[in-house]
Amino acid sequence: MNRQLIKKIGGYLKGYRGFLALSLVMAFISALLSLCIPFLTGRAVDCILGPGRVDMKGAVRVMILIALCALFTSLSQYIMSVLNNKIACGVVRDMRDAAFTKIGKLPLSYLDNHPYGDILSRVISDADQFSDGLIMGFSQFFTGVVTILGTLLFMLLIDLKMGLIVMFLTPLSFFVARSIAVRTYRYALAQSSVRGKETAFINEMVGGAMVIKAFNREERVIKDFDDINEELRDASLKATFFSSLTNPSTRFVNNTVYAVVAIAGGLGVLKGLMTVGELTSFLGYAREYTKPFNEITGVVTELQNALACAERLLSFIEEKEEEADSEDASVLSGCRGEIGIDNVSFSYTEDRKLIRDFSLRVKPGQHIAIAGPTGCGKTTLINLLMRFYDVNKGSISVDGRDIRKITKRSLRDSFGMVLQDTWLKSGTIRDNLTMGNPSVSEEEMVEAARDCHAHSFIMKLPDGYDTFISEDGGSLSAGQKQLLCITRAMLSKPSMLILDEATSSIDTRTEIKIQEAFHRIMEGKTGFIVAHRLSTIREADLILVMKDGNIIEQGSHEDLLARKGFYHELYQSQFAGNAT
C-alpha cells in the first residue's frame, strides 16, 4: 500500500524534477563538506607533535579549511532548505488544487453521503500535515543518506576492520525503526480519520448554532464533542507514543555502536595501529554516521503521519467523478421547453424505492406545479430534470432529446433554479446577483431586483449593491436572502425555471407580488413549481399530485378540488372551510 502511495506522490513530484535534482546536489555538497571536517580535525590533532612541539602553520591552515567547509556547508544547507520548501509547498498546492477541482466534479451522491467537515479536514488539515512531513523528509533524508554512505567510505579507508564492525551493526537501527514505524503509520491514519470526524462535527455545530440554542441542546452537544475529543486524544496518544519510541531506541543502538568503536579505537592507539588524530577522525565519522540514523528515524515517524494524511487526501482526489457527457452528447440551444418523462424509476438506495414508472408530458410554456406530502419525490424529480442524479430506469427528454445525450452544462444553462435552501457566497450583493449571468448590465440588474422586491432593502444597506456580505448572507434575514436568490435566477434568463419552495421564507404579501413577477418573466417559458403552500400554485396550468413516487392526480386547481380526492384533502388541511 505504501509503495502505491509513494508512487502517487512521485507523480506530483515530476513537475519539480529540476528543484529536486538541485536539492540533491546541495545535499551532496553539504554532506561532503561536513565529512571533510572530521578528517581535517584529525589532521589538526596530528599537528601536535609532542610537549611543546606544535606545527602552528599547519594547524592554522587546517583550521582555515575547517572554517571554509563549515561556511559552505551552511550555505548549501540554506539553499537546499529553500528548494525543499518550494518543492513541498508546490506539491501540496497542486494536491489542494486537484482536491478543490474534484469537489466540482464529484457526483451529488458523494457530497450527500459525506460530512462537509471531513472533506474540509482532508483538503486543509491533512494537506498541512503532509506538507510539514514532506519538508522535514526532504531536508533530512537526502543529507542523511549521503552522510551515511560518505562516512562509511571514510571509516573503511581509515581502518577497514573497525569500519566493517560499524557497517554490520548498522541494520540494528533499521530493524528497530521499521518495527516501530509500522505501528506508527496505523495509529497516525486513525488519528487523521478521527480529526476529520471532529472537524465535521464542529462544522456542523457552528452551522446549526441557532437551532442548538433554540432547543437547549448545548449540554448534549458538548457531551458528544467530548466523546469525539476523547477518541481523538486516545488515537493521538497512541500515535505520539509509538512515534516517540523511535528516536531514543535508535539513539541507544547508535550510542552503543559509538562506545564499541571508541573502546576498539583506543586499544588500537595503544597498540600503535593508528594515531590519535586518526582515532579522532574515526570517532568524528562514527558520530556523523550515527547522527543521520537518529534524524532519519525521527523523520520516518513524521513521514508516517504525513503519509497517512496524504493517503486520505489522495483517496479523496481519486474518488469517482460525476459521469462525463457521452461522446455523442450535443449542446442544447434554442430550448423550447418541451419535457418528456417516460416510465422513470429512481431510488437513492436500492432498499428504498422512491419513484416508480413515472411518466409525464409537458408542453412548451406550460407551468407545472408539483404538490404532495413530504418525501413523495417532488424535489427528487427536480434533481432528475437537472441531471444531478441519473434515472435508474426509463428516460427524460428535453425538446425530444434524451438528456443523457445533451451536455450537462447546456442542460443546466437552460434552467433557472431557486431552492428553499438559499446559498450566497462571500462577496458583494452585485457578485451574488450576477453569478448566473456576468454580462448583465446595471440597468437589467436593478430592474430585476425591483421586480423581485429586493431593490428597496438592498439600497438600505451601507453600500447598496456593492455591500459585502459574508458566507451565506451574514446578517441578512432568511427572506432577504431568498429574494436575492430569486433575483439571481431571473437574471440568468433561463428557458425553463424551477422553483422549489422558492417563496417559503417570504411574507404572503411580498409573495403575491413575486408570483406576479414570475408570471410576467416566465410568459411563454416552461416552469416547474414545487410547493407545500397550495395557495401559490392555483394559477398553474397543470398540477401534479404525487404520493409515494407516483402521480395519483393531475389537473387544474378547480378540477382537482371538484374531484374531492387527495389534493382536496391537502387543500382542506391548509384552508379548512375555504376550499373554493
3-state secondary structure 152-166: HHHHHHHCHHHHHHH
The SS3 assignment for 556 reads: coil
Is residue 29 within 8 Å of residue 75, measured between CB atoms? no
pLDDT at 549 over 80: no
Q: What's the distance, Cα to Cα, between the start and end of the chain in Å?
A: 69
Which residues, in sequence order, are CB contacts of 250 under 8 Å at separation 6+? 173, 176, 177, 293, 294, 297
The amino acid occupying position 182 is V
Nearest-CA neighbor of 149 among 285, 261, 253, 299?
285
State residue 502's pLDDT score: 65
In this prediction, residues 523-548 reach a mean pLDDT of 78
pLDDT at 7 over 50: yes
Of 120 and 518, the structure prediction assigns the larger pLDDT to 120
Q: What is the dihedral of CA 74, 75, 80, 83, to 10 degrees?
A: 140
State residue 579's pLDDT score: 43
Mean of pLDDT over the chain: 79
Confidence of residue 580 (pLDDT cuts 50, 70, 90): very low
State residue 357's pLDDT score: 83
In this prediction, residues 303-311 reach a mean pLDDT of 79
In this prediction, residues 382-400 reach a mean pLDDT of 88
Spatial separation of the C-alpha atoms in residues 349 and 328, rounded to whole Å: 29
Enumerate the β-bridge partners of residue 539.
none
Phi-psi region of 377 (alpha: psi -120 to 50; beta: other; left: phi over 0): left
Task: Annotate 302-314 with three-state secondary structure.
Answer: HHHHHHHHHHHHH
Is residue 471 within 8 Å of residue 207, measured between CB atoms? no
Domains of the chain: 2-317 (1.20.1560.10), 366-376+414-574 (3.40.50.300)
In this prediction, residues 141-157 reach a mean pLDDT of 75
Confidence of residue 246 (pLDDT cuts 50, 70, 90): low
pLDDT at 537 over 70: yes
State residue 296's pLDDT score: 64
Cell of 565: 380526492
- pLDDT, tens digit, 9 for 90 and up, residues 446-489: 988 888 888 888 998 888 999 888 877 777 887 788 888 888 88
Helices (H) and strands (E) in the chain, counts: 20, 14
17 burial via Cβ count (<10 Å: 0-12, 13-18, 19+) = exposed
Nearest-CA neighbor of 518 among 408, 416, 386?
416
Which residues, in sequence order, are CB contacts of 553 under 8 Å at separation 6+? 543, 544, 545, 560, 563, 565, 566, 567
The amino acid occupying position 577 is G
Task: State the CB neighbour count (10 A cutoff) for residue 269.
Answer: 15
The SS3 assignment for 170 reads: coil
Dihedrals phi, psi of 231, to nearest 5 degrees: -65, -40
In angstroms, the Cα distances linking 420 to 346, 417, 498, 530, 532 are: 22, 10, 11, 10, 11
In this prediction, residues 60-80 reach a mean pLDDT of 87
State residue 307's pLDDT score: 80
The position carrying cell 509503495 is: 3
In this prediction, residues 83-92 reach a mean pLDDT of 86
Confidence of residue 359 (pLDDT cuts 50, 70, 90): confident
State residue 75's pLDDT score: 92
State residue 305's pLDDT score: 74
Spatial separation of the C-alpha atoms in residues 258 and 250, rounded to whole Å: 12
In this prediction, residues 88-95 reach a mean pLDDT of 87
The amino acid occupying position 552 is I
Spatial separation of the C-alpha atoms in residues 301 and 63, rounded to whole Å: 38
Is residue 386 within 8 Å of residue 498, measured between CB atoms? yes
Q: Are strands 496-500 and 415-418 parallel, antiparallel or unpaired?
A: parallel
Which residues, in sequence order, are CB contacts of 198 under 8 Å at separation 6+? 225, 228, 229, 232
- Strands of the sheet containing 550-555, edge to edge, are 415-418, 496-500, 526-530, 367-371, 542-547, 550-555
State residue 297's pLDDT score: 61
State residue 170's pLDDT score: 66
Confidence of residue 174 (pLDDT cuts 50, 70, 90): low
Is residue 121 within 8 Å of residue 402, measured between CB atoms? no
pLDDT at 568 over 60: yes
Query: In the chain, pLDDT over 90 holds for what percent of residues?
Result: 1
Dihedrals phi, psi of 345, to nearest 5 degrees: -125, 140
The amino acid occupying position 211 is V
Widest CA span of the chain, in angstroms? 124
Of 340 and 472, the structure prediction assigns the larger pLDDT to 340
